[in-house]
Amino acid sequence: MRVCVLGAGVVGLTTAYFLVRDGHEVTLLEGRGGAALEASFANGGQLSYSYVAPLADPAVLPKLPAWLLARDSALRFVPRLDVDQWRWCVAFLRACRATRSRQTAMELLALGASSRASMHELVQRESIDFDYVHNGKLVVYRDAREFDHARRKMDSLVAAGSAQRALDAAACVALEPALERARPLLAGGIHTPAEEAGDCHRFGVALARVLEERYRVAIQYETPVRGIRIEGRRAVAAITPHGDVEADAFVVALGMGSVPLVASLGIRLPIYPLTGYSLTIPGAPGRTPRVSVTDLHRKIVYAPLGDRLRIAGMVEIAGTKVSQRDGRLALLSQQAQEIFPEAGDYAAAATWCGHRPATPDSKPLLGATHHDNVWLNTGHGALGFTLACGSARAVADTLAGRTPSVDMAAYALNR
């Protein structure tokens, strides 16, 4: 079958990979001049397969007023005259219900497990270098009550197959000595030894090369998709400035770009941009954390990428217009130095701002639309690097008529 994948972010690239491995003839269309230049460019780098806590959680609700008002808050809401923003927020609040949030965590855990297996298969088969490490992840808590709550939640995830353990502050520092200066701040941490990290942009670029050179996938860069030509219930071509690209099936993996594209087909996607920021600093030998760390209080993630440290965080519900980039990056740097003051050269940081294509319940949208041959693989929010391989595998399985290892109903547009 001829399959046209739209978007060469980490989700589109992995989709193309698992489709071509199934023997399809794959074309990949991308608006930018290279692979993984949007949300997949300088994200947190964490492959967090077992720690998939959705943002929509009942614990978030009491914290919302303080988060939204405090100047140095991790979460920021900038109200816009935008009905999509308000609709998304209402749906987000609904998704915070305890039973729903628990169910979501279990479903994300299943997709995470499938993702880990598919990522391992991919890296074993292909020679790609992306500062990939099996370094484990430590989520640190500053508040004793929050740590207790996390420990209780961990028990249900452990029962569902996630290998995690709770550590007191001293054990956190013993595991990751770069936390020594932050020790007085820590109540404890949850360690997930099997988590991984890597550079998502390098992964994307390397995978794009493998797709072109080894599997003869035609990747057309600088090819913005303006629409999809429909005949009856079927799509026949992607419309681009360089002409129509015909195919038997189309997979929409355009991140934030998915929303306007499928809106032209009469499909409304519940995806809103959650803006975040990152710094990449040259590491200081012996003082850069080797374990991936998440500072839950600040909602900042740290991942070692070769001799660099990636620091990413902040969640802004503000649309795609970014008004305080420099101020937010300075705040991120200040907050990172609170916990890792000697981890590297903060003055030499490469800075970045990106938009997580997020659904209210933190689950991606995978699978069918009301057009017979248009499929979705989008809306991965804060976990797109982590969930890309599992989502791609599930979509490829569906197109091939195999039963995916995850329950596709959990990720359906009309869930």
Ligand X SMILES: Cc1cc2nc3c(=O)[nH]c(=O)nc-3n(C[C@H](O)[C@H](O)[C@H](O)COP(=O)(O)OP(=O)(O)OC[C@H]3O[C@@H](n4cnc5c(N)ncnc54)[C@H](O)[C@@H]3O)c2cc1C
User: Considering just the CA atoms, what is the radius of gyration of the chain in Å?
Assistant: 21
**Residue 356 interacts with ligand X (CB under 6 A)?**
yes
Which residue lies nearer to ligand X by CB, 169 or 291?
Answer: 291
Residue whose pair of structure tokens reads 């998709």 in the numeric block? 225
Per rule CB under 6 A, is residue 380 in the interface with ligand X? yes
**Residue range at the interface with ligand X (CB under 6 A); choices 104-112, 182-190, 251-259, 282-290:** 251-259
232/102 Cα distance (integer angstroms): 40
SS3 129: coil
Looking at the Cβ atoms of 367 and 381, the one nearer to ligand X is: 381
Q: Give every CB contact of residue 125 below 8 A, 6+ residues apart in sequence.
A: none
Place of tokens 């007085």: 184
Copy the structure tokens of residue 352.
């970045």
Residue located via tokens 């660099």: 308
Residue 390 as a binder of ligand X (CB under 6 A): the answer is no
Beta carbon nearer to ligand X, 39 or 399:
39
Instruction: Verify binding: residue 32, ligand X, rule CB under 6 A.
Output: yes
In the complex, minimum distance from the CB of residue 333 to ligand X, in angstroms, rounded to a whole number: 14
For residues 278 to 307, the per-residue mask of contacts with ligand X, x marking binding by CB under 6 A and - elsewhere, is x----------------------x------
Burial call 88-117: b when 16+ CB within 10 Å, e when fewer:
beeebeebbeeebbbebbebbbbbbbbbbe
Nearest-approach distance from CB 279 to ligand X, in angstroms: 10
Counting contacts by CB under 6 A, is residue 45 touching ligand X?
yes
For the bound state, the minimum distance from the C-beta of residue 394 to ligand X, rounded and expressed in Å, comes to 14
Please give the single-letter amino acid code of residue 212.
Answer: E
319 binds ligand X (CB under 6 A): no
**H/E element, 284:** none
Choices 17-25, 137-145, 153-161, 275-283; region in contact with ligand X by CB under 6 A: 275-283
Which residues, 6+ apart, have CB-to-CB distance to 305 below 8 Å? Answer: 45, 131, 197, 198, 199, 280
Binder among 3, 4, 12, 51 for ligand X (CB under 6 A): 12
Site for ligand X, rule CB under 6 A: 7-12, 29-32, 36-40, 43-46, 48, 224-225, 253-255, 257, 261, 276-278, 301, 312, 354, 356-357, 378, 380-386
